[in-house]
Amino acid sequence: MSSLLLSAHILAYGYTFGSTTFHSYVSSVRAFGVLPLREFGKLQGQLFPIHFLTQAIGPIVIGLTAPYAIPTLGLGLLGVSSATGLLDYLCLLPACQKIKKERLAISDTKYGGDDAAAKAKDPEYQKLTKQFGKYHGLSLLVNLVSVLGVFGYAFIIGKNLTVLKSAVPK
């Protein structure tokens, strides 16, 4: 077993799980609570591409750096996590970004940038908000599946490290 490969594997896992979990369930929640909605949207617009690419590429790096044969379950967990990150990045993120731009255009042109007035008065803005909610809800679900896939893989790592440790002479 190469200690370099094992180190790369652990670091890839730690980065992928840690960063995606922290962004999903700590920093995003906190930012939503303290930033004005438009500023929060700008922040997320810059972070989401990195976040989803990490979810898509991270599991591949984890798989490529494994210093042991990954069982079928582990490959499945990493595959699902990667695929859901890719789905978020390629499909759901662009759909949400398009809807957000359309809502901002309505708010800016008809209501002078007053998002609350647009939300309260404009039927097209309201329709777009419902549509955004559907895509965003689906993205949240897909994100959860990705995080759970990587989380589940922790048990594969644990089992294999136990086996590797018992094979090392004392």
Residue-wise pLDDT tens digits, 68-125: 999 999 999 999 999 999 999 999 999 999 999 999 999 999 999 999 999 999 999 9
- Mean pLDDT across the chain: 94
- C-alpha 85/C-alpha 91 separation (Å) is 10
Residue 162's pLDDT band (cuts 50, 70, 90)? confident
The two structure tokens encoding residue 163: 């086996």
The residue ranges of every structural domain in the chain are 3-163
* Mean pLDDT across 35-49: 95
* pLDDT tier at 161, thresholds 50, 70, 90: confident
Does position 165 have pLDDT exceeding 90, yes or no?
no
User: So what's the pLDDT on residue 30?
Assistant: 97
Q: Are 82 and 60 in contact (CB under 8 A)?
A: yes
Is residue 168's pLDDT more than 80? no
Secondary structure string (H, E, C) spanning the chain: CCHHHHHHHHHHHHHHHHHHHHHHHHHHHHHHHHCCHHHHHHHHHHHHHHHHHHHHHHHHHHHHCCCCCCCHHHHHHHHHHHHHHHHHHHHHHHHHHHHHHHHHHHHHHHHCCCHHHHHHHCHHHHHHHHHHHHHHHHHHHHHHHHHHHHHHHHHHHHHHHHHHHHHCCC
**Residue 125 has what pLDDT?**
97
